[in-house]
Amino acid sequence: MSRFDLRKIVIQTLFECDFKGKFDLENIQSILIRNFENEPVVPFAETLALGVLAKKDVLDAVISKAAPEWPVEKIDISDRNILRLGMWEMMFPNESGTPQRVAINEAIELAHAFSGDKSAKFVNGVLGNVLKDLQENK
């Protein structure tokens, strides 16, 4: 399974947690197991999902700063979770093992897959702002 396919599973997992309003360890793990169709959960996917869970509040604050005209709770649920995942990979590259530009490209492709061109442009813009801030604050 490709890393992109694993990210799709993670987005589906995060979407369900967000939709249910249950962003917690037990819920994420049970949904991941179900989304892997009771096969062993691939460690990369688990790292991504648990990383987003651990830093959700930080990620949401970054989204608020990078897209101030869009309150986090008003962003489409798919886009919100794609942003969280992309930002987590960008902000914590030692944990994700993903170069920042790759994280942006993967997030854009996820937005195309789950939401469409308009969302992909939005995700690109927000993550581009975040990357700029990260590079300026090094």
pLDDT on residue 94: 84
Q: Within 10 Å of residue 76's Cβ, how many Cβ atoms?
A: 16
pLDDT digits (tens, 9 = 90+) for 45-70: 999 999 999 999 999 999 999 988 88
Q: How far apart are the first and last CA of the chain?
A: 34
What pLDDT score does 134 carry?
A: 84
Q: Quote the pTM value.
A: 0.95
Chain centroid to Cα 36, Å, comes to: 18
What is the rounded CA–CA span in Å between residue 103 and residue 38?
Answer: 27
Instruction: Please report, for residues 22, 34, 71, 77, the alpha-carbon distance to residue 106 in angstroms, rounded to integers and kept in the order given.
Output: 25, 23, 23, 17
Extract the residue ranges of the chain whose pLDDT is less than 70: none
